[in-house]
Homo-oligomer: A and B are copies of this chain.
Amino acid sequence: MTDATRPLVRHLTEEELLARIFPLLPMGPATLLGPGDDAAVVAAPDGRFVVTTDVLVEDRHFRRRWSAGDDVGARAATANLADVAAMGARPTSLVVSLVVPGDLPVDWVTGLARGLADVCGPVGAGVVGGDLSGGDAVVVAVTAHGDLEGREPVTRSGARPGDVLAYAGHRGLSAAGLALLDAGLVGPEDATSADPGADDVSGGVGACVAGYLRPEAPLAAGPEAARSGTTAMLDVSDGLLRDAGRLARASGVGVDIERDALAGDVDRLLPAARALGVGREAALAWALTGGEDHGLLAAFPSDVVLPEGFRRVGRVLPGPAGVTVDGQEPAVRGGWDHFAG
């Protein structure tokens, strides 16, 4: 289809556009009443539900020249479902408020719906409702819900000195991928699977691009950690150091990250660092401060066998609240602030 015949959002009414989106959305077993009425109805078997919201804004969180609609949909779903998982809950449903410019191609919007479905479908979460509005830039505001399956929610505040600090998921892929795209060294077409097996140089670069465009969150690891007795957990969306600091402050403990525990992550990031002409320290900085990987950081009592997907990255110390790396003040600072800039 040539651009001249590619239908744009402004060529359709709201109801026509919704009619193209609805059939693409997964229902999920918890959906008692899906889209199309004033509100949806979702099951909450244990009499409670977990709820979180996260917004992506064009040219702040993504650029349309790099991210297709399906990438943005997948990323919006992942960011929200990772927050649900971080409470120890199983995702059940989400709703989407979408702002779209009139000159946005309709297939970008249906792609976004497919991206939401790609992430939600396999974990049994239904996309149960939404709202559409015109606007000058794309905004995707997702609210996600989860089922605690009778367990207590896992907060950030329960970590105790002596706990092991563990992490599930990738570190630094998204930050490295963004740096590669930003430098113009690669394009979105260079994305490959973010699967850790793809560790050759080109695969390593491609995995970073994929990790930025479509981060993979370890959604099943959240409820698994809760069942294993995690004392505190959160989604690492703003960088390991920054989010470890949040856990430390909420729990009133110190947190020490072990640099050696990140050696594998740094190795995976080296091809991207080399492509950018920087070295191992830059790769370590991505692993420590890169945002948007959506892994899970959790504390476990030291006698707990870490559940599948988690690996030790440090330990919990007595207060004062703060984060060290191998016992020292971190040499790198910062992390992603959604709000700055």
Q: Which residues of A contact B (CB under 8 A)?
A: 13-14, 17, 32-33, 36-57, 60-61, 83-84, 86-87, 89, 93, 95-99, 128-137, 139, 141, 143-146, 148, 153, 155-157, 233-235, 250, 337-341
Residues of B within 8 A of A141 (CB): 53, 55, 97, 131, 139, 141
Interchain residue pairs A-B with the least CB separation, the first 10: A14-B339, A141-B141, A44-B44, A39-B52, A143-B143, A55-B97, A97-B141, A38-B86, A53-B95, A38-B83
Residues of B within 8 A of A98 (CB): 55
In this complex, what residue of B is CB-closest to A83? B38
Closest chain B CB from A112 CB (angstroms): 15
This protein's copies in its complex:
2
In this complex, what residue of B is CB-closest to A237? B38
Bound-state CA distance A89–B53 (Å) is: 22
Residues of B within 8 A of A33 (CB): 153, 155
Q: Is the CB of B93 within 8 A of A339?
A: no
Bound-state CA distance A89–B37 (Å) is: 13
Closest chain B CB from A251 CB (angstroms): 12
Known A-B contacts A41-B148, A44-B47, A47-B45; the reply to A133 vs B60 at CB < 8 A is yes
